[in-house]
Amino acid sequence: MLAKKKDAETLQDIVSLLQSIDAIYLQHEELLKEQRRLEDEAKTVSQNLDSLKKFGPDEPQPYSFLLFDNLKDQGDGKFQMRRF
């Protein structure tokens, strides 16, 4: 009787550990997806930055505040579009 109880407890411990491993694995998969998404976003931002550095704004330096406001408005619009 005692051996059966120990076997049942051991099996219950194994099931509990397997459930923990499963939960950790799912978290790991989600983190990998998030990492890939962030890497893709960083790549896009880097490409956009390179494009801006290469071509720059049309207006010669020193840049006016109107150019800054225009770029800010464009950025805000893209940000708003992404949120939806």
pTM of the model: 0.52
Residue-level pLDDT at 34: 97
> Which residue segment(s) compose the domain that 78 sits in?
2-83
Q: Write down the pLDDT at residue 84.
A: 47
Tally the domains of the chain: 1
Alpha helices, H only, the chain:
2-55, 65-83
| Omega prior to 60 cis, within 30 of 0 | no
The pLDDT averaged over each successive group of 10 residues in the chain (84 residues) is 81 97 98 96 90 71 70 67 49
